[in-house]
């Protein structure tokens, strides 16, 4: 997959471009269905399959207090889009100047002239341009004169009888509430956070006898506080583990942490980037009366995780 991180780097229109446009936060199975429609259409016309997204998220630019935590940071989003088989990813730096483009300019100057669009695949509520004045009807009205087709993709539901359509908003709600299994069904994979291992409060190994990798989160959606069975991707390998998300109420220092104990693993990975996949929520975070009770419970959590992964 070729990646263009600025429109100025596109020096000629793409061959018979078939495009879909969106934030694609999460790259959930609804987004994946869009991408597959784009790929199939491009193959039919012998063209180029293209996904266009924006960085940062438009809401972060347009609304001072409208900053949703991201399901996928850009690095992961690009990786997931590439896995679908899309030929080209265009990541437009989103600014207020870009947001001021009229719908007419967006279609004629960007999509048709710059990109060479021959077809566009969009959801039923797609809108674009300054003040979101552009609509699907407007796209369709331009199609005959500028030689492109508008393809509407229907909403994807999680299962038969499930009323909610799959959406980034719904996935955020599920992750925030700790419903990792339901989030997995919408994402088509386990929810993942990424981060560099940092030096924590140095309690895990020395005080508790259970070493942990501490991760700082930046802009990412954080699951509900509690204890989780997780898998950890590190140095090209995957390991089972137990993650604690919360404020360590037993110690009463009220500092939020994400700590991961990797099972049967003793390597020094300070400063390295790891990926943590949330498989199952095991329990709530609890305040214990003493350190001994906490250690006993952590050992039970580790045993529960081992049992879970052995099934």
164-193 pLDDT per residue, tens: 688 999 999 999 999 999 999 999 999 999
Q: Which residues contact 242 (CB under 8 A, 6 or more apart)?
A: 227, 228, 229, 230, 260, 261, 263, 282, 298, 301, 302, 305
The CA distance from 22 to 98, in Å, is 14
| pLDDT-based confidence at residue 18 (cuts at 50, 70, 90) | very high
120-133 pLDDT per residue, tens: 999 888 998 888 89
Q: Which fold has domain 2-153?
A: Rossmann fold (3.40.50)
The CA distance from 219 to 183, in Å, is 19
Of 23-27, 63-67, 148-152, 224-228, the least confident? 63-67
245-276 pLDDT per residue, tens: 988 766 666 678 899 999 999 899 999 999 99
User: In Å, how far from its chain's centre is CA 70?
Assistant: 6
pLDDT of residue 252: 61
Structural domain boundaries in the chain: 2-153, 190-310
Taking CA atoms, 54 is separated from 51, 99, 114, 130, 226, in Å, by 10, 11, 17, 15, 33
The CA distance from 150 to 141, in Å, is 10
Q: If we measure between CA atoms, which residue out of 115, 65, 69, 113 comes closest to residue 92? A: 115
pTM of the model: 0.90
Of 4-8, 211-215, 217-221, the least confident? 217-221
| pLDDT-based confidence at residue 202 (cuts at 50, 70, 90) | low
Q: If we measure between CA atoms, which residue out of 158, 108, 160, 144 comes closest to residue 129? A: 108
For tokens 């100057």, what's the residue? 109
| pLDDT-based confidence at residue 205 (cuts at 50, 70, 90) | very low
> Burial letters for 191-224: b for 16+ Cβ neighbours within 10 Å, e otherwise?
bbbbbebeebeebbeeeeebbbbbbebeebbebb
124 or 52: which leads in pLDDT: 52
Domain at 190-310, CATH homologous superfamily = Riboflavin kinase-like (2.40.30.30)
């Amino acid at each position: 997959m070729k990646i263009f991180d600025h429109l100025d780097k596109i020096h000629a229109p793409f061959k018979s471009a078939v495009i879909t446009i969106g934030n694609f936060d999460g790259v959930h199975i609804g987004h994946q269905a869009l991408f597959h429609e784009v790929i199939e259409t491009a193959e039919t016309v012998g063209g180029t399959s293209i996904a266009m997204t924006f960085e940062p998220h438009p809401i972060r630019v347009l609304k001072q207090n409208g900053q949703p935590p991201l399901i996928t940071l850009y690095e992961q989003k690009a990786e997931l889009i590439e896995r679908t088989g899309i030929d080209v990813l265009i990541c437009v730096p989103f600014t207020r100047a870009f947001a001021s483009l009229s719908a007419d300019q967006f279609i004629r100057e960007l999509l048709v002239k710059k990109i060479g669009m021959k077809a566009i695949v969009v959801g039923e509520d797609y809108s674009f341009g300054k003040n979101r004045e552009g609509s699907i009807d407007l796209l369709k009205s331009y199609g005959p004169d500028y030689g492109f087709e508008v393809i509407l993709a229907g909403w994807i539901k999680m299962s038969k009888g499930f009323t909610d359509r799959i959406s980034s908003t719904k996935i955020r709600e599920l992750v925030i509430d700790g419903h990792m299994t339901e989030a997995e069904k919408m994402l088509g994979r386990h929810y993942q956070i990424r981060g560099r291992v940092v030096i924590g409060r140095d309690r895990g190994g020395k005080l508790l006898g259970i070493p942990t990798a501490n991760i700082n989160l930046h802009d990412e959606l954080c699951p509900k506080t509690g204890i989780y069975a997780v898998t950890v991707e590190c140095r090209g390998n995957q390991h089972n583990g137990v993650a604690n998300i919360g404020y360590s109420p037993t110690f009463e220092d009220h500092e939020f942490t994400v700590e991961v104990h990797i099972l049967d693993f003793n390597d020094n990975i300070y400063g390295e980037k790891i990926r943590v996949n949330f498989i199952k929520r095991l329990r709530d975070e609890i305040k214990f009366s003493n350190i001994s009770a906490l250690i006993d419970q952590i050992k039970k959590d580790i045993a529960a995780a081992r049992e879970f992964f052995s099934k």
